[in-house]
């Protein structure tokens, strides 16, 4: 086996210790157990394999893309295995842990204006690719159909199998939107009555790293809001509070977007009848956020 083979087949974790309403089951996919530590391994694997298959990616090319961190770490890990160069554009205020991981895998980092967030990183990577298209392979995770397809072919089927088809609600936040789009499409094909919902930061000015406030940002080309049955806003403070609970009550050290997902799922669960089954995503490991002072709160 190699790192490509280790991607996916993550367990479904019961979150009953967080006391969801009686009769409502709350579970989460432990995507932080992927080899680079996040759900983004799935999309990165699919996009690189697709590039290799069609001949767009080869030893003469450098992998280039924009990232808020997690997809970049996945590219760097998989690129290292393939012996390929990796250049990643990310906001300069990305935390030290993510930059250290990218450096450890041998990737080149191009820092972009933090005030322009992930949109600025995307435009910077796109300009670099357009200036030297023969030098780079640009997966363009925000617009690459292989991204949601990875989740349609793996994440969605795994959730369906692990819940024995009992899932009634799927909810998660959006970055590129690939996890939501691919999983939602598969699950709704299996059960048209199943509800697929999104968690969204409650403000354009938020601290939920990796999560987009869609109304105030560049919408990914792969995103189709017709698959969204509802939106659950979550504040940065709520997300951090649940992130700390996951670590201190469930022994699950995950990142703030995971906390946001579970916070939204708990809000949703409070509105549901007995017999409902809610599944969300634990998107990445909390080990890449340990420098954040929010861990020191008592709440």
Active site residues: 40, 257
Distance CA 244, CA 239 (A): 9
User: Are 183 and 270 contacting, i.e. CB atoms less than 8 angstroms apart?
Assistant: no
Per the DSSP assignment, residues forming a β-bridge with 197 are 171
User: Are 110 and 89 contacting, i.e. CB atoms less than 8 angstroms apart?
Assistant: yes
Distance CA 277, CA 262 (A): 13
| 103-112 per-residue burial string, b: 16 or more CB within 10 A, e: under 16 | eebebebeeb
Distance CA 287, CA 274 (A): 35
């Amino acid at each position: 086996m190699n790192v490509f083979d280790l991607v996916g087949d993550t367990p479904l974790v019961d979150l009953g210790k967080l006391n969801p309403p009686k009769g409502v089951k709350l579970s989460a996919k432990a995507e932080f157990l992927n080899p680079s530590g996040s759900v983004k391994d799935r999309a990165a694997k699919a996009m690189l394999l697709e590039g290799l298959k069609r001949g767009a990616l080869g030893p003469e090319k450098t992998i280039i893309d924009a990232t808020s961190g997690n997809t970049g770490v996945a590219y760097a890990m998989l690129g290292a295995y393939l012996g390929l160069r990796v250049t990643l554009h990310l906001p300069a205020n990305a935390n030290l842990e993510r930059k250290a991981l990218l450096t450890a895998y041998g990737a080149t980092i191009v820092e972009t204006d933090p005030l322009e967030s992930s949109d600025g990183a995307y435009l910077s990577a796109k300009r670099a690719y357009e200036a030297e298209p023969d030098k780079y392979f640009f997966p363009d995770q925000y617009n690459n159909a292989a991204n949601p397809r990875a989740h349609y072919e793996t994440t969605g089927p795994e959730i369906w199998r692990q819940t024995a088809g009992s899932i009634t609600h799927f909810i998660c936040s959006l970055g590129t939107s690939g996890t939501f789009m691919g999983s939602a499409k598969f699950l709704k094909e299996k059960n048209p009555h199943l509800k697929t919902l999104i968690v969204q930061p409650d403000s354009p000015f938020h601290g939920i790293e990796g999560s987009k406030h869609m109304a105030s940002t560049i919408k990914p080309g792969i995103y189709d809001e017709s698959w969204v049955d509802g939106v659950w806003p979550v504040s940065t403070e709520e997300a951090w509070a649940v992130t700390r609970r996951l670590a201190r009550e469930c022994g699950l050290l995950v990142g703030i977007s995971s906390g946001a997902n579970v916070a939204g799922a708990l809000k949703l669960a409070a509105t549901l009848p007995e017999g409902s089954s809610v599944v969300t995503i634990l998107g990445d490991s909390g080990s890449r956020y340990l420098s954040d002072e929010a861990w020191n709160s008592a709440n």
